[in-house]
Structure 1
């Protein structure tokens, strides 16, 4: 029996879908990826109330979805969602993908995707050698805060103290959105760009999500934050609305349409948010190295260009 390499992955959402797309492309399992994605999108819609609930309750649906006797079929689990009422939500748990027929794969080798709430932390505690998570969480957890700003995912590894963690970023998946500087017309400079240079001279409040505080400190650099105090959205209030109240803020944007609805101007894209492949070098085996090389590669349009 060959070695099965477990890989920590997000349980739901865009990052998991990006991982599944990567596996569909590299391992030729588009049907499996589509099945998991469609199931989780359906369950998300049920949890949000976007569609009417099925006649079956969540426990019966969970039993219908999960093939516990066949590890090569997806298995799901339940978590408490953070929406009002804390409803139970079906999320991804695990699936095993044999590497049979993959060129160069060790005999009997397989990959097991294992859902985790925070895959990066699972790698930090040496539960996994490989995993996928948002680059944001790496900034929030381990990068050094310096006076100079951090503008590229490719620079993250240089700011990770090896004595703090063995985990490094390997590659990105190209599902890029941006932490963007947003401001009302009253606060934005009239004749200059709304960018880092503006922040260097700005004094006042900056609205951010509380969980992004350390990320924003790393991205902007501690020098630029002199004279700036952080403000946070009230619970239940949309981030863009809170930024409009404060006048200036940083938040993730895709098209920026919601920000514009609140009268906000879009400034500099400060930092890309992207799902990344992570590796704990202390746990690397020959088979792990093969799997890493299988999932790595330059075929994606990614913000990340890390030399290894």
Structure 2
């Protein structure tokens, strides 16, 4: 009988899809991964009201998705969504996948993907040896704030106090979006580049999402932020609209088209936001290490590769 290595993963969204895409490339599970992603996209559309369900009873849909008689089938669960009315939303719960036949992995080894609302925190409490979550959460929770900026992902692990957390970043999955500096032409009219140096010389309001405040302090450094007054978007207000009203701000961008629609200029991409493979170092057994090697690899086009 082999060993089952549990891996904490997000319950929904882009990070979970990135994990499933990674497993599709490393294991022969493309059909299963697509099934899970399609199911969750469908349920998201229902929750947002973009689709009308054929079956109104969410519990009946849940029962149809989770075939408990088949131990290899994915299982789902319900959470309360944060949209108006707090609707119940079907999200990922778990699935077990064989990793037999891969060099270096002991025979009979399985991996069990286990959905968590915040996988990083489950690793912090030593529930899992391995997991996936957003790199942002690491910066928001455990990276030490210093006067100097954080320039490289290799510095992230170096800034985690061992007494604070045993979790370390292994690598990113390449699903990169960026925390980008942006400003109105009126604020950026001095002709200087819209970059970290601009922020250092700037005094005044800077609009960010409240959850990113500690991340911004870590990335830019506390010295750069002297003279900055953080402002936050009002509840339900589009972030780019709030930044346009404030004059300067930082928010996640993929193409930047929404920012431009609000008349904003895009500046420096301050830090990549990716889904990252994490490990709780004291919990990594030889088998978990072999599984980690399967999930990692030089084929990853990541901005978050950690130097050994």
Give the TM-score range, shorter chain: over 0.9
Superposed CA offset, 1:163-210 (max 9, x none)? 111110001100000000011111114311111111111000010000
Q: Are 2:86 and 1:86 aligned?
A: yes
Question: Are the aligned partners of 1:129 and 1:283 in contact in 2 as well (CA < 8 Å)?
Answer: yes
Superposed CA offset, 1:92-147 (max 9, x none)? 00000012232332121100000000000000000000000000000000001011
Question: Are the aligned partners of 2:147 and 2:224 in contact in 1 as well (CA < 8 Å)?
Answer: yes
Question: Are the aligned partners of 1:8 and 1:114 in contact in 2 as well (CA < 8 Å)?
Answer: yes
Distance, in Å, in 2 between the alignment partners of 1:77 and 1:189 is 51
Correspondence for 2:24: 24
Distance, in Å, in 2 between the alignment partners of 1:99 and 1:229 is 51
Correspondence for 1:12: 12
Written as runs of structure 1 = structure 2, the 5 A alignment for 1:249-288 is: 249-288=249-288
TM-score for both structures, normalised by structure 1: 0.98
Question: Are the aligned partners of 1:154 and 1:303 in contact in 2 as well (CA < 8 Å)?
Answer: no
User: By how many angstroms is 1:244 displaced?
Assistant: 0.8
User: By how many angstroms is 1:150 displaced?
Assistant: 1.0
Distance, in Å, in 2 between the alignment partners of 1:242 and 1:71 is 48
Correspondence for 2:134: 134
Question: Are the aligned partners of 1:152 and 1:272 in contact in 2 as well (CA < 8 Å)?
Answer: no
User: By how many angstroms is 1:292 displaced?
Assistant: 0.5
User: By how many angstroms is 1:299 displaced?
Assistant: 0.4
Distance, in Å, in 2 between the alignment partners of 1:87 and 1:51 is 14
Correspondence for 1:305: 305
Written as runs of structure 1 = structure 2, the 5 A alignment for 1:37-56 is: 37-56=37-56
Correspondence for 2:122: 122
Structure 2: unaligned runs, 5 residues or longer: none
User: By how many angstroms is 1:154 displaced?
Assistant: 2.7
Distance, in Å, in 2 between the alignment partners of 1:52 and 1:244 is 35
Distance, in Å, in 1 between the alignment partners of 2:178 and 2:187 is 21
* Aligned residue pairs, count: 308
Correspondence for 1:292: 292
**Greater mean alpha carbon deviation, residues 251-260 or residues 190-199:** 190-199
Q: Are 2:72 and 1:72 aligned?
A: yes
Question: Are the aligned partners of 1:135 and 1:153 in contact in 2 as well (CA < 8 Å)?
Answer: no
Question: Are the aligned partners of 2:55 and 2:61 in contact in 1 as well (CA < 8 Å)?
Answer: no
For residue 6 of structure 1, give the secondary structure of its aligned residue in structure 2.
strand
Correspondence for 1:108: 108
Question: Are the aligned partners of 1:152 and 1:303 in contact in 2 as well (CA < 8 Å)?
Answer: no
User: By how many angstroms is 1:22 displaced?
Assistant: 0.6
For residue 22 of structure 2, give the secondary structure of its aligned residue in structure 1.
helix
Aligned-pair Cα RMSD in Å: 1.0
User: By how many angstroms is 1:50 displaced?
Assistant: 1.4
